[in-house]
Chains A and B, each alone.
Chain A
């Protein structure tokens, strides 16, 4: 799966979890750029991403992410 395709799928997850059809993620998007992407919703987003891609992150991995692109890179390494 390519990074752009993963971005589309993650975007759909964000729309569903945050209940906001207007979300358009880019690689450089961070929590500061998305309304309601707070610490509690972050948990729901991570759980939803893990379920969708059938992967598991570590707490160290998610703490390193600075933006959506780094989340996608992490997903890519686990799907490789």
Chain B
């Protein structure tokens, strides 16, 4: 599998801009007040509206589709754990490391994390991709 080696590391930065946030709501219609109502979110102990966790999954889609050394890829699975809230205009630093290569079935596994500006992990997980022939 020439494009990948175990321990290969990929890094990418993302920002949860108003365009990303509003676009996500416009497309998926998740208007839960935790995401849309500043006062509601604060009464629940957060400093402001909590961004949808699945925005981060969308960043993973971008990573797999656009940042890998080949376009011949498909996502088999991804698992994510959300550790800390993410807020509007947060800048996120994404890091993914190749943890396994399975040539028999043309699959590659990564572990990843997103860190915020304070270098705290806000989400982490695993991705398995398939390489298309």
Contacts and interface: CB of A to CB of B under 8 A. Distances in A.
Q: Is the interface of B mostly helix, strand, loop or mixed?
A: strand
B107 A47 contact: yes
Interface string A23-57: 00000000000000000101110110011000011
B103 interface: yes
B105 A62 contact: yes
- Most chain A CB within 10 A, of B105, B107, B128, is at B105
B105 A56 contact: no
A59 interface: yes
B130 interface: yes
A4 to B, nearest CB: 24
Interface string B65-106: 000000000001100000000000000000000001011111
B77 A46 contact: no
A43 B105 contact: yes
Interface residues of B, number: 12
Interface string B101-122: 0111111010000000000000
A1 B15 CA distance: 51
A59 to B, nearest CB: 5
17 contacts: A43-B76, A43-B105, A43-B130, A44-B76, A46-B104, A47-B100, A47-B102, A47-B105, A47-B107, A50-B104, A56-B103, A57-B104, A58-B104, A59-B103, A59-B105, A62-B104, A62-B105
